[in-house]
Every structure is written in C-alpha cells, then in structure tokens.
Structure 1
Amino acid sequence: SEDTCWEEKTVVPHLVAKLCSGTEPVCKSNQFLGPEGNVDIELIDKSANRYSVHFPVAGFYLWPATGLGFLVTAAVTVTITFDSWGRHLDLKLQHHEKWMVAGPLFDISVEPEGVITEIHLPHVISLPANEVDISWFQVAHFKDEGMVLEPPARVEPFYAILENPSFSLMGILLRLARETCLSVPITSTALIYYHFHPEDVKFHLYLIPSDSLLTKAIDEEEAKFQGVRLQTSPPVDPLNFGSRYIVSCLPPLEIIPKELKLSYRNPGEIQVFSKVYAGRMKEPIMLEITDKRYKTLIWYTLVKPEELQFGATSAPPPLPAVAFMKEHHRHLQARLGNLNGVLDDLQDRGVFTEEEKEMVQQMPTQQRRNETLLRMVENKGHQAQKVLFKSISRRDPYLMSYLNQQSL
C-alpha cells in the first residue's frame, strides 16, 4: 500500500484552499465551495431530504459536507435528493452477486442539461490499501428499466468521476468476484456522543464508514435525545468492512455491547452503537477499539470530565494551519498520495531546494516519502508548514475536507 501513487488529474480551483485555511471562512454544511466563493444550498423538501443549488458561473463546485462535486461550463441549477439503497438494491444481489454499497445514493437532476462535464461521487473505499481493483467500481443508475451500470471514468481516493454524465438516482457500488473472500478496506469514522445525567453520564460510541450522510443521520437521531457529539479523530489506518471490533475502557466501565461490526446501514435506519456507562464521571476515561481477530488497537481517545461541562453545542473554530498540521500529522502521513505537485509548490516558494525535493522523491515507499516530507517541513518552521498546508488544501481538497469534518 505504501508504494501506491495517485496521479493528479482532477480540475480543482485554487479557491478550494480556503476549505480549512483557518484564516478564510470555512464552507458551512449547507454550502458548496465554488470558484467565486461559497454558494448556499436551499432545502426545498425536508421530508424528502431534497435540496436545490444554483451555480452562477463556470467552474468546479464541491460540497464538503457530502463529498459531492460538479465541474460545470455555464450557470446551472442542480436538484439533489438523498435516498436509501435499501429501497432500490435487492438484498439478494448484495449477498449472492457480491455487490457492496460503497457510498451515498443521490437522485440528481439539472437544468439546463449538457453543462455539467464531470460529477464527483463520494465513496468510502480505501484505495491506498492497494487491495481493491479499480475495475470493481461501478456507478449504479436506477431507472424505469431497472439498475443500469456504468464504469466511472476515473477513481480517486474519496470519490469516483463520471464524465459528461446522465443524471438519475445514482451511487457507487463495488462488485467483487464470486470466489473472493476479501475483507474490503474502507475509511472509517468513530463518533462519540455523551448524554448527561447527574448520577450516570453515558456515552454512545459508533464505528461507521466515513459517509457524511450516515454522520448527519446519526447527529440528527442523537439530537432528539440531547446527545452531544465530542471532537474525535478517525482511525488512521483503513478498517475492514464486515470485521468485528471490541470496545473497551480504562478504567473498566460497563459497556453494552462490547463488540461492533463495521457494516453499512442506510441513513435513516437505526445504527449500531456501544453504550458506555460512566457514573458521575469524576476522572478521565480512555475509550479504545481493538480488532477482534488480530488483537490490534485501531483507535482510542481520552475523555475528560471538564470536556462535558460546555456541551460543544457549536462547532469549534477552524484550526490555524500549523495546529491543523500537527493534529492530523499521522493521518497525513498515512493518506497523502502523489507528492509531485506539492513538492513543486514547496520548491517554487523557496521552502525546498532541488536536492531536498529529490531526497523526498527517492524514498522507497509512499509512507516514507510522506514521513520525510512532513518531518523536513516541520524542521523549517511555521511559515514552511503554512506553505505545505495551502498546497495540500489546493491539490487534495477531498482529503482536507475529510480531515476537517473529523475535527468537528
């Protein structure tokens, strides 16, 4: 997996660097980030989960909260409805034909037609794990004649691209060979919500695919019962779809259930979670998730009593560049892909010499290249880290959006 590099092919404007810059306004959950600033999204039917957005000029538009992106050549109005796979994909197909849901399901229509040249559909498959064949990816269109499959033009980390698309109810599926017993690696998210009671504080811990619609659905369900989400980081390494994970706590507390299976349940369905009873919560607790099969620690977090006093009812302000790079150092080391453009930016800005650029490029594996890059930039100080931050934000907005969402 460390030897995999991904070519930079996506057209993304420089403005996308504002996504997590810490000095520019962060794109809100109900906004697209566009070439001339943020574009508001209108909720036109809450019961149907339907939205409308008007893109006023040509360019690339990204909805960071969902990972959905459009490249347009002229002004266009797009209507987006979030739907459930369970209503359209036969369970027999999933089990017998080895279909795996790999991302959200969108019903998309546009007016006028013919001005959208690319659509970026989000997926949760971890490509750098080097265990997934790109040919397994299919875009499923649900039409009157049934499910129609279309191979994407390109597949990148976090999204697949359709060029000159036709629009319908669509989403990403992964088709595995019948004889394949592969446990598919996916990017994942751990969510913690606390519920306050003077005598017994309790936590709900979820382990889910990194699907923003799932997170949104869980946020809304927890809010009905006054659950407050705490800030956490996702697991650094890809997790295996269908594998089982053990939840534990230090000091030992009552946890029900102690075992979670990483699976995809449609937004709107009840999501599986572990309930942790912490009593009056006078001391910090350490929550851990361990791979049941390999006994390896895949995620942990520390929760302190003082964190629960303020409720975190609003999202924290965006992190400045240097703090962001420090907080997400391990994730950047694991998830950065092709570095050629980033290294060019560092050389152009005088952060790296030609010799230093070559030193990074000559490292034998992708992870070693990432590690060397981050360490060298850190040693050069805060200004160099800010240059690196802006370069990654511009060249890999999906990765930065993903990391930024985990910090909320």
Structure 2
Amino acid sequence: MKRHLSFSGSKAEAAGKQSRKEDPTGDNWGTDKCKLCPREEDPPEEINPEIIRGPDRNQETYRVHLPGAGSFRCSETELGLEVRAAVTVQYRYGFWDQHLSVWSTPKWMIAGPLFSIQAEPAGAVAAIHLPHFLCLRGADTSRIQIAHFIEEGMTLEKPMQVRPFHAVLENPSFSLYGVVWGNRSKPPVLIHSIVLLYWALKMAKTTLHLYIIPNDHSRFKAVDDYEKKCPSRLVSTSLRTHKPLTFDSRYVVSSQANIEVTPKELEFCNIQAECLQSYMEIYTKDIQGGLEFSLVEKINKEPIWEAHVRPEDATLSVSSAQTQTDEHFVNQHRAQLIQRVMAVDGILDSLYGPVLDLEQIQSIRAERSSVEKMRKLYELVPKWDNDCKDRLYQALKEKHRPLVEELEGI
C-alpha cells in the first residue's frame, strides 16, 4: 500500500500551486506515461515537499524531512530518494545552459531535468532516482549517463540502474545532477511527450496556445508559469501523445473548423526549461458548436494527439481569469495605461463598431492630450463586459506591445 507523506505548511496548494495529485500530467509512476514501457516496480512513498520561494518569487526550492529509512518520491518533481536514516533534503531545478556551454557536444543530449540537491546528513541518502523522458523500449540503455557538475567541472557517472522513467545513482556526493543520452548512432531515441493546451483569457474570442514538450516536469512548470502571467488556463484534455516522438519532427494542426494557426507547423525540439518553449497559436471566432482538431505528423499525416474544446470551457475561462488576476488587465493597470498610452487614436479605430460608436469616439478625440483621451475612454469602461475589455486589451497589445508585456511581467 502506497503512503503519502505531507509536512506542515508544505502542500503545493498553500503556495498557490496545483498539486501533483491534481496535476493533469500525473501518471501514477508510469502507468499512463507510455504504452510501450512497463510501470516501474516497487512504487515508493509519495512525499509532498515544503515549497520555499526565492526573493524574486520565481525560483523555488523544495524541502523534505524524511523520518527514517525508506524509498520516497517527490510529488512535485518526480525526484526519487532512497535513504538509510532520517534526513532533510533540499533540491531545486538547475539551469542546463549555465553549465553545458563549456562541454556541450553533439555526442550528448539532455534527457531530463537538472537538479541541485543538498542533504543533511549527506551520508543518509543511499541513492537518488533522477527522472528522464526517454522511451527505452528496445534502446541501448548503456547510452544513458548522469552528468555531475562540481566546482572543478563536469563528470559523467554511470547509473547503477536504468528504470523506465528514472536513472538510479548510488551514494551521491551532492551538487548538480541530470540525465544525458549518448547520441552516438541512429535511429534517434524516442521521447515520452505531452501536449499542453492553454486558453488565453485576455484575448478576444477564442485563442489557444499549443505546446509539444517532453514529459519533463521542469518544462511543464516553466510553461505553466509563463502562461499564468499571460494569463491563460490549462484546458482539460488528454496530454499524452499516442506514441513517443522524436526530436526535430514537425507537426501541423488538422481541423474541419474555421481556425487560424500561427505558425503553420511546429517542430518538436529539445528546448531547456529555462528557455521560452515554442508554441502554436490557434484562433477561432466561433466556438459555439465546440472545436475539434488534431495534431498530425507533417510527413506521414499520422495523428499523434486530438482535442475537443467545448463551448462551456469559454465560461470557465472567464471565471478563471477573474480568479487568477482578481480583475481584468484593463482595470488592473488603469493608472499606468492612462499615463503611458500614446497611440490613442489608433486604439479608438480598433474599437469603433464592436465597442464604441461614432459619437463616443468623437467625444474622446475632442480631448487635448493622450492622457485626457485615455481618461475619457476609461469613463466608459465600467459599463463594458469582458468581451469589450478583451478588445481594448488586443488593441493595446497591437499598438503598445512593449508596455503591455512590461505590465504583465513577461
């Protein structure tokens, strides 16, 4: 029977995060990750770490106190720990780009998140289980190594055991660890992959952001953090692709609906978590009948993922926008927008018809300065619904994108 350990004040929900139990990428330690790979045997005890935020509120450190010997796995990161005795362990995601520049070579490929780990006492940790996203069915597991970064540089260590979703290293001397794959021969290794679909809450009509990423929780977290700033909400769909993918493969969206997709195709790339992940923007004016589409391999036209976005998701999006931001971007940044928006006439042109009538536009343009014009415009905002505010947001983004991104903290 699997037990779940939690610690006072440690749950992700207390920090405003979604727990792994509610995380749609959750896989019960491999049951749903891949049809080709077996579930890992001897499931460990799941631990919910205390989450410590850094001064910038972005960098997170996870901390657990393990009361005695046993095998444990973090609910937030999938990092596994085998311990001999009571121990306190702190860990956080590291940045591959900060360390790979001195040794990066086509011979090696990043195959999982990089972890900075500390333990007290260090000798109490018998082994660590580092997550990877490689589909190893029929693959040469000897090509897996663990990159270990220390002050003197980088070494490669051979794992004691390679499991379907983890590489195991015994008696670690703690610092930075991550799994890498030797790119010595073809065919290319298969990658456990997921598709993330977000609804952009402040966009007019329906705008979706679609990502294809390795099943790597550091990258999922990076995408989720970025989208929350937009803000966007994760649409509840099946996340796992129908089969493992290969890097550098290309995909297009296929749909019978009237949609606009930018860019037309998306390449599945090994982009580290610290970098902005590539995505497709899917736009439609009408979702009343629902929106069905699939992600298809560009070359052989084989579908690798499907989605059905329902009309009621739009209602959920409005509610979520109000919950996540407390108020709409247009209301939240009223003072800054009044003082700093210069291209008022261009914005009025964009609002003419669906939001403002001719008399209102003439009244606003009669004001002398841009500040006075924006104040006059804002006299009308309290009477607007979210669709009108979305249109103003879109006009602001078209005319003053740097200002909008600054206010959103992007």
Common fold, TM-score beyond 0.5? yes
Match of 1:72 among 75, 83, 86: 83
Deviations 1:62-98 (A, max 9, x none): 1133211101111111111211111111287333xx2
For the 8 Å contact 1:192–1:203, the answer to whether it is kept is yes
Correspondence for 2:273: 267
Mapped pair 1:93 → 2:104: yes
Pairing 1:15–2:21 present: no
The residue identity in structure 2 corresponding to 1:268 is E
RMSD: 2.8
The yes-or-no answer on 1:279 pairing with 2:298 is no
* Deviation readout 1:272-316 (Å, 9 max, x if unpaired): 0000011142221112111122221111111111122123859xx
Asked whether the equivalents of residues 296 and 302 of structure 2 are also in contact (C-alpha less than 8 Å), the reply is: yes
Which of the residues 193, 201, 222 maps onto 2:198?
A: 193
Task: Mark the runs of 5 or more structure 1 residues left unpaired by the alignment.
Answer: 1-12, 19-24, 315-408
Whether 1:42 aligns to 2:51 is yes
User: Distance in 1 between the 2:206 and 2:219 partners?
Assistant: 25
Q: 1:262 to 1:196 in 2, by over 3 A?
A: same
CA distance in 2, matches of 1:170, 1:37: 21
Deviation of the 1:268 alpha carbon: 2.9
* 2:315 matches 1:309: yes
3-state SS of 1:223 partner: helix
Partner of 1:102: 111
For 1:62, give the aligned amino acid.
R
**8 Å Cα contact 1:198/1:280 also seen in 2:** no
SS in 2 for 1:14: coil
Contact persistence 2:271–2:277 (CA under 8 A): yes
Question: Is 1:133 equivalent to 2:109 in the alignment?
Answer: no
Q: Which residue of 2 aligns with 1:173?
A: 180
Which of the residues 229, 239, 256 maps onto 2:234? 229
Q: How does 1:365-404 map to 2 (within 5 A)?
A: none
Relative contact order higher in (CA < 8 Å, ≥ 6 apart): 1
- Could you tell me which amino acid in structure 1 is paired with residue 230 of structure 2? F
Distance in 2 (alpha carbons) for counterparts of 1:250 and 1:285: 9
| C-alpha contact 1:102 1:174 (8 A) present in aligned 2 | yes
Q: CA deviation at 1:123?
A: 0.2
> In structure 1, what is the Cα distance between the partners aligned to 2:227 and 2:68?
38
Structure 2 residue identity aligned to 1:99:
W
Aligned-residue offset at 1:42: 3.2
Counterpart of 2:110, as a letter, is: V
Q: Please list the CA deviations of residues 332-388 of structure 1 after superposition, one character each: whole Å capped at 9, or x if unmatched.
A: xxxxxxxxxxxxxxxxxxxxxxxxxxxxxxxxxxxxxxxxxxxxxxxxxxxxxxxxx
Partners of 2:243 and 2:61 lie apart in 1 by 34
Are 1:240 and 2:246 an aligned pair? yes
- 2:48–2:74 Cα contact (<8 Å) kept: no
Q: Separation in 2 of the partners of 1:313 and 1:231?
A: 13
Whether the 8 Å contact between 2:47 and 2:74 is mirrored in structure 1 is no
Percent identical across equivalent pairs? 36
Say how many residue pairs are matched: 287
The aligned residue for residue 153 of structure 2 is: 146
Whole-angstrom distance in 2 between the partners of 1:14 and 1:48: 30
Secondary structure at 2:173's aligned position in 1? coil
2:151 maps to 1:163? no
The 2-side partners of 1:273 and 1:71 are apart by 37
Q: Structure 1 stretch 135-144 or stretch 60-69: which is displaced more? A: 60-69
AA aligned to 1:286 is E
Q: 1:210 aligns with which of 212, 215, 230?
A: 215
Output the CA distance in 1 between the equivalents of 2:247 and 2:190.
6
For the Cα contact (< 8 Å) 2:197–2:208, is it kept in 1? yes
**Matched AA of 1:49:** E
Shift of 1:125: 0.2
Cα distance between partner residues in 1 of 2:277 and 2:180:
21
Q: SS of 2:313's equivalent?
A: helix
Structure 1 stretches (4+) deviating beyond 4 angstroms? Answer: 25-29, 33-39
The match for 1:62 among 73, 85, 93 is 73
* Distance verdict in 2 for CA 1:86–1:198, change over 3 Å: closer
Query: Larger Rg: 1 or 2?
Result: 2
Quickly say closer, same or farther: Cα 1:86–1:94, change in 2 above 3 A. same
Q: How far apart, CA to CA, are the structure 2 residues paired with 1:153 and 1:277? A: 48
Within 2, Cα distance between the matches of 1:218 and 1:309?
A: 23
CA drift of 1:47 comes to 4.6
Q: 1:296 is matched with which residue?
A: 302
C-alpha distance in 2, partners of 1:209/1:111?
32
Deviations 1:153-178 (A, max 9, x none): 1111111111222211110000121x
Secondary structure of 1:103 counterpart: coil
- Cα deviation, residue 193, structure 1: 0.4
Contact 1:254 1:277 in 2 (8 A): yes
> Using a 3 Å threshold, how does the CA distance of structure 1 residues 91 and 243 change in structure 2: closer, same or farther?
farther
Question: Which residue does the alignment assign to 1:405?
Answer: none
TM-score normalised over the length of structure 2: 0.65
Kept in 2, the 8 Å contact 1:247–1:290? The answer is yes
- Provide the rounded CA distance (Å) in 1 between the counterparts of 2:115 and 2:296: 33
Paired residue type of 2:171: N
User: Aligned equivalents of 1:195 and 1:81: distance in 2?
Assistant: 29
Change (3 A) 1:91 1:210: farther
User: Does the 8 Å CA contact 2:46/2:73 hold for their aligned counterparts?
Assistant: no
